[in-house]
Structure 1
């Protein structure tokens, strides 16, 4: 169920390799009508081509291997949307910058790939993909930049304008950016298709929570020293868009993360690991429809990275060569 894939080469080489390793699957969830509207997807594709043309050729090469229109590559493997994900970024008194990130979703989610990418058209990075071609759900690049996504269950827009799919935004950032400030500038230029939060942290200890909703300017909440992100909007311009949905669980996880690393004790790497393995709220989940499928630990200053393929309380973290 968990795989480690190395992506090396040109856009067409990586696209064809992914096509040889992946199988098309249908989403078990109701998809939006625009995901099958080729004219709409063509306008979305134009945004990708303008922003990062090489990534578009990678996606198109994948689609070509399946005899699918290139535009369908934007959602060719729409397996599922993440529902409950947590992340904390904090700077230790030593100056080191740490990030912990749990990805929680339906336990039967079929695709869980760790991708090490050394392409000819973007910064080297390592990160996870949950089933949507070309995307990254979290990861770190060679400049010590971390980006991770978090689904927000907000009200749906009745009329949607073309934009960038949620899973490609972290990929664009990891490929093109070296700092939190650069990611903020990039996201401000790109129209959004979905309601998501994004955790951004760099090795200099600059953190941002980017809150995105279709048709709205992104909400930027910057922080020094400590930042936690879960699955609700905090920005005053966006929080009304969540309607009457319960937010207590998401807010409890956010508060717990801030408290857990708000004071230092012992080894900060182990402190972050213990935080992401905690069951008090819980951060580490074991429910059928909210299970921790993977967890990542990152030290951005020295580009140290480890992943737990499953609940970290049971599996533990495996440190990887960047």
Structure 2
């Protein structure tokens, strides 16, 4: 887990702990003794004690080193509460009262304030908050009734009979599986232990009923905090949906890990499953493609929106001190003049089909401006059959759950070239793709975030797929188009056995030919283009050199194994563009893509299905 997510890790951990006091792996001895230990916690969960202070000191291992996180929750009898999480580098405090909700970001001296009435399922009102914050697609959901019942005797009995918890020493201590343990002190008001390799101390204080929290947002006046006002509905929706989606990502239910593999058709679209891999076949006008996309993948699109806008958006706010929607809106305002009108029409049609705000769908689609990765193209003397093999590794934030929406799209736009786009429900641009003319493209992110006065990278990639039938045409498109940020690419033409590496910024573009030496990439390798960075580049080069002349499909896939692929490896693809074949692996919640099975997809076969899709849907 990355440094910048440490505070939110603590926030989500406290949420889990409150709703799953001693899950199935937790220990027990005689149930009466455990029940006594659980009484203070159950009084909080039941609402019997409405004026409470909870303090969690958490020391998880993040990026291989221990990190201190302190999380506190204070509430009063009027339903007001203060929630804070603090780490050496990141901190957040949420204050909620009836008339206003305030987010404080102490490390940035920023405050975000929303005022007025707010209701619905996406609110932070204290009453019923556990039900709203824990998703039905999270495995934690099954523990909510137990937490809400808050009967210490029932919980203790269940833990004894179902979890087979073992007593420890000294008294009031319990042995969990592995290295996990719990110790109750001060009559259950202090709980210490280790869970999932994280040490913690959890303290419960019962306050006087007369205590009231001073949470007024006007107390910020005259302070050093820079105050930004946004609609309260937007503020609370962002936090509530962000946390709800996080409960799915941290503990997914079988609904996410093993979704029903139901094939179905709609006008201009078909959803099918190939060995557990989601494939959406779309064709027609922009409106027809967008509508079919939305109708086939509504649930997955909503997961993408929640992951990007709300879960990532909340973490990014803590990291940067900026409200994420404002950042995306600013980026979109500068990028949108460079997005083709037919792409905008497709996105709007998709949003309308799903029932989400069209502006929200449009700004979410510029999110791939933040991707990072590795890639290679090898052919001729480097391969066993002389064919070109193009590998693409996407390393980007498996921690925000995009794998739940992983989809390979087979798209046939009217009057344009058909293509396969390895992507995610809700995104119409491309970061990994191959077209029916034997062109394959992969991207690697660089620096320069914020240089957005040009064509969005994912838009330019899609244009390369649907407009270009040769490597020269792709190179001309990228050279002649206004570009954003810093990106690296591998472009390949399987029909001509040509490939090129690309280093592009808004100001300049450089093409690196096969076998060409480069100061950042090392000495050239015959009939190879190899792009990555740091130790991943070193390992990739070593593998290519060792296997040179012996590389076939299996060997090419193995080139992308870890550590060339990072722990955050979201998807991998191997293209054999001359054959119109691609192999795709997607991450799941336990393993990066490089450690998952690859699925073979035949673009030509899948494209033939678009011809009959409307007839199938009508029948």
Structures share fold, TM-score greater than 0.5: yes
CA deviation map 1:216-255 (0-9, x unaligned):
1222222262101225xxxxxxxxxxxxxxxx33542453
- Give the drift of 1:303: 1.6
Q: 1:22-101 maps to which residues of 2 (within 5 A)? A: 22-23=301-302, 24-25=305-306, 26=309, 28-29=312-313, 30=316, 31=324, 35-37=328-330, 41=332, 44-49=335-340, 53-65=341-353, 66-69=356-359, 73-76=362-365, 78=367, 81-83=370-372, 85-93=373-381, 94-101=385-392
3-state SS, counterpart of residue 54 of structure 1: helix
Does structure 2 retain, via aligned residues, the 8 Å contact 1:92–1:98?
no
Following TM superposition, by how much is the alpha carbon of 1:79 offset from its aligned partner in structure 2, in angstroms? 7.4
Aligned pairs (5 A) from 1:202-241: 202-203=493-494, 204-214=496-506, 216-223=507-514, 225-231=527-533
Q: Which consecutive residues of structure 1, in runs of 5 or more, have no partner in the other structure? A: 232-247
Q: Which residue of 2 aligns with 1:317?
A: 598
Matched, 1:299 2:588: no
Q: Distance in 2 between matches of 1:103 and 1:195?
A: 16
Query: Residue 15 of structure 1 corresponds to which residue in structure 2?
Result: 290
- Say which structure is richer in helix: 2
- Give 1:19 deviation, angstroms: 3.0
Matched, 1:118 2:412: yes
Aligned equivalents of 2:452, 2:398: Cα separation in 1: 32
Matched-pair contact (CA < 8 Å) for 2:334–2:452: no
Cα distance change on mapping 1:95 and 1:74 into 2, 3 Å: farther
Greater relative contact order (Cα 8 A, min sep 6): structure 1 or 2?
1
Aligned-partner Cα distance in 1 for 2:578–2:379: 10
Kindly indicate whether the alpha-carbon contact (under 8 Å) linking 1:296 and 1:305 is maintained by their aligned counterparts in 2: yes
Counterparts in 2 of 1:219 and 1:254: CA distance versus 1, 3 Å: farther
Q: Report if the CA contact (8 A) 2:280-2:408 is conserved.
A: yes
Map Cα deviations across residues 287-313 of structure 1 (whole Å, 9 max, x no partner): 3xx2x2222122122222211233466
Residue 128 (structure 1) aligned to one of 422, 439, 443: 422
Contact 2:339-2:455 at 8 Å conserved across structures:
yes
- Root-mean-square deviation (CA, aligned residues, Å) is 2.8
SS in 1 for 2:559: helix
The match for 1:268 among 536, 548, 552 is: 552
8 Å CA contact 1:115–1:129 kept in 2: the answer is: yes
User: Structure 1 length as normaliser, TM-score?
Assistant: 0.77
- Deviation at 1:264? 1.6
**Inter-CA distance 308–251: structure 2 relative to 1 (3 Å threshold):** closer
2:470, 2:480 → 1: CA distance? 16
Distance in 2 (alpha carbons) for counterparts of 1:218 and 1:128: 25
User: Highest Rg: 1 or 2?
Assistant: 2
- CA drift at 1:199: 1.1
Contact 1:80 1:131 in 2 (8 A): no
- The alpha-carbon deviation at position 98 of structure 1 amounts to 0.9
**Unmatched tracts of structure 2, length 5 or more:** 1-255, 257-276, 317-323, 516-526, 604-619
Q: Is the 8 A contact 1:63 1:76 kept in 2?
A: no
Checking the alignment, whether the CA contact within 8 Å between 2:419 and 2:435 is kept in structure 1 is yes
Closer, same or farther: CA 59–176 of 1 in aligned 2, 3 Å:
same
- CA shift, 1:76, in A, is 4.2
CA distance in 2, matches of 1:76, 1:300: 27
Give the Cα separation in 1 of the matches to 2:482 and 2:387: 33
Identify if the C-alpha distance between structure 1 residues 257 and 118 changes in structure 2 by more than 3 Å, giving closer, same or farther: farther
> Equivalents in 2 of 1:117, 1:101: separation in Å?
20
Match of 2:396 in 1: 105
> In the alignment, which of 425, 428, 436 is matched to residue 142 of structure 1?
436
Shift of 1:33: 5.2
Shift, 1:273, TM fit: 1.7
In structure 2, relative to structure 1, the CA distance for the partners of 1:314 and 1:191 (3 Å cut) is same
Equivalent residues of 2:489, 2:503 under 8 A apart: yes
Partner of 1:244: none
Matches within 5 A, 1:158-237: 160=451, 162-203=453-494, 204-214=496-506, 216-223=507-514, 225-231=527-533
Say which SS state the counterpart of residue 223 (structure 1) adopts. Answer: coil
What SS does the corresponding residue of 1:5 show, helix, strand or coil?
Answer: strand
Pair 1:259-2:545 in alignment = yes
Q: Partners of 1:67 and 1:274 in 2: how far apart?
A: 42
Deviation string 1:21-73 (CA, Å, 9 cap, x unpaired) is 21232151535856313xx7456333233xxx433321232345534249x61
Change (3 A) 1:202 1:312: same
